[in-house]
Every structure is written in structure tokens, then in C-alpha cells.
A and B are shown apart, each in its own frame.
Chain A
């Protein structure tokens, strides 16, 4: 089945530790996105990428890093510089067109700090 796979479902981070969240898609989409969601809040954009080896910061990129070495993969690293990392992280993808492209979301990763 085509879709977006995020792993792990749950992740725990120790103080000062970097952790990486995986996002893979087999939809052949050019654009991929990472969002953060805090309890009771909407989604905030962290990073997005429209082409391999290129990505742009979203609204809350500080303390995060990404890479886009393959079209199918867009991993997100939560660095030790992110002081409040506990949140639900969502990856999404879409085609690139005239603005009428729907986003497909993964099932999310819940990150918690030990």
C-alpha cells in the first residue's frame, strides 16, 4: 500500500541527547514536511523540502535538523539545543503543483523527555 511511514511510534530522549525520527514515503511525492503538535494545539511547521538535497526552515526550526538525501526519506533530528522537545511529531508529503495538492500525513511519533 502507498503511504507515509513514521517510526518509532513512541520515543524517549534523555537530557543532552540527539534523537532522530524517521519518515519514509512511497508515494513518489517531491515535497515533504515536518510538523510539531503540542497538546490541544494546531500543527506548526518545522522544516520542509521540495527536492532532494534541499530544504527550508519553517516557523520553529531552532533545535531541529533535517536531511533529504533520497526522495523517499526525510528524517528529523531533535538536537540537544531543543529545550522543550516533548510533542507529537507529524511528517507529511505532497506533490508540487498549483496549490491544490493535498497533504498525506504519517501516523506520528510521540517524543517524550526522560
Chain B
């Protein structure tokens, strides 16, 4: 079973910030939080990941709560091309453990 909980769907107006929440209340101290997105009929694309600190890159920002039980992916200025399914995943430190994808959040950006 997936270790994360995400809303099934969200809407966002073009140009506004999209804030996608993720609950990972059972996360362990050695597990990273990863975000990927999947545009219809394509392979998932890596967005960002973090362990404890907030992270930012050219695509998004990742805010992780102090207790690490939840996080938020922020797309600062959503565009129509950001319409996709967004997956929040916890990744164990050991590569022998399996990466589990849930059903993700379907983000619809509208004009």
C-alpha cells in the first residue's frame, strides 16, 4: 500500500500558485519525499525531492513540515502545461526497498 495520501484532484487558475498537499504520517527518518508528475500517456517526470529542509529548483518548491508528516509542492506560476497527475512518494534510503506510487493528484490548470 502507498505510504502517502493525496487529494484526488485539484484546480488552479493559470498564473496562480498551485499548492499540492501530501500526507506521509508514517514516514521514517531515513526516507526522502519525492515528487513526480505524469502528463497523459507519458512517463513520469522528476520534479523535486527533499529529506528535512525545504527545497527549491527551477520547476517547483517543496515545503516539508517540521515533523515531516506532510509536505506541499508549490508550482509558483502554474501554466496550462502543468496540467498533469502529480505523485508524492516516500523513498527509503535502501535501494532494495520498493518505490510505491499511489494514485496521485490530478491537477487541472484552467485559463
Partner of A106, one of B30, B34, B43, B98: B43
- Cα A110 to Cα B49 in complex, Å, equals 28
Contacts of A99 in B (CB 8 A): 30-32, 91-95
Tally of A-B residue pairs with Cβ under 8 A? 66
Contacts of A44 in B (CB 8 A): 101
Known A-B contacts A42-B2, A108-B42, A108-B43; the reply to A100 vs B51 at CB < 8 A is yes
A15, CB-defined interface residue at 8 Å: no
A96 in contact with B95 (CB, 8 Å): yes
- Number of residues from A at the complex interface, CB < 8 A: 34
Known A-B contacts A92-B43, A99-B31, A102-B49; the reply to A40 vs B103 at CB < 8 A is yes
Contacts of B94 in A (CB 8 A): 99
Contacts of A108 in B (CB 8 A): 41-43
Partner of A98, one of B93, B102, B104: B93
Known A-B contacts A98-B93, A99-B92; the reply to A90 vs B98 at CB < 8 A is no
Nearest Cβ in chain A — how far from B65, in angstroms?
Answer: 19
Residues of chain A having any CB pair with chain B under 8 Å: 4, 6, 31, 33, 35, 40-45, 48, 50, 56, 58-59, 88, 90, 92, 94, 96-108, 110
Residues of chain B having any CB pair with chain A under 8 Å: 2, 30-32, 34, 36, 41-46, 49, 51, 87, 91-96, 98-104
The 7 A-B pairs of least Cβ separation, nearest first, read A105-B43, A99-B93, A42-B101, A43-B101, A102-B46, A42-B103, A42-B102
A/B interface sample: 7 pairs, CB < 8 A: A41-B103, A50-B96, A99-B30, A99-B31, A99-B92, A100-B91, A106-B43
